[in-house]
Amino acid sequence: MPLTASLRKSSLTVHVRASVGWLGAVAAFLALAVTGVTSEDTQTVRAISMALEPLTRWVIVPLALTSLLSGVVQALGTPWGLFRHDWVGIKLLLTLVATAILLLTVGSIRALATRAADQPGVSVDLQAAIGSLVLHSAGGLLVQRQPIRVSIHR
């Protein structure tokens, strides 16, 4: 079902904002995670461990889901179609994989925050757990860096 010009522009705006916001939020997550891995200050590592959870739950996950859903709406409501062009299907697949990995990682991020809140001193296992999140977020940035093709039909 083709979208009207107004709805197409609005949905494109939502999609681009969510996608760029997701990219920025993951970059902030990565910066915090790298700081947590490299810091020798116990309080800093604990604080970062606890801060990653709300950042993920309230910012990254909603932006990822919004980007995914608005991308599907954009594809179905425009002449690009969802599977008519290879690049649209590839972007959909990459976004689905990145979102699935994100959703599977939320539980370990929550467990990390709980462990950090319950432990008075930092332990090597907190920094090791944050280290694995560095790899996940770096991979997420690579996936999200896919080129965005934008076309507004008048």
Average pLDDT estimate for 127-154: 76
Does this model's pTM top 0.85? My answer is yes
Residue 137, C-beta contacts closer than 8 angstroms, at least 6 positions apart: 26, 29, 30, 33
DSSP-derived secondary structure for 95-127:
HHHHHHHHHHHHHHHHHHHHHHHH-SS--HHHH
150 located within any domain: no
Question: Residue 47 sits in which domain range?
Answer: 5-144
125 located within any domain: yes
Contact status, residue 146 vs residue 100, Cβ threshold 8 Å: no
101 located within any domain: yes
- Count of the separate structural domains present in the chain: 1
Contact status, residue 60 vs residue 37, Cβ threshold 8 Å: no
- Segment 31-67, tens digit of pLDDT: 999 999 999 998 999 999 999 999 999 999 999 999 9
Residue 36 CB coordination number (10 Å): 26
151 located within any domain: no
> Of all residues in the chain, what percent carry a pLDDT higher than 70?
92
- Segment 54-106, tens digit of pLDDT: 999 999 999 999 999 999 998 898 887 888 888 888 889 999 999 999 999 99
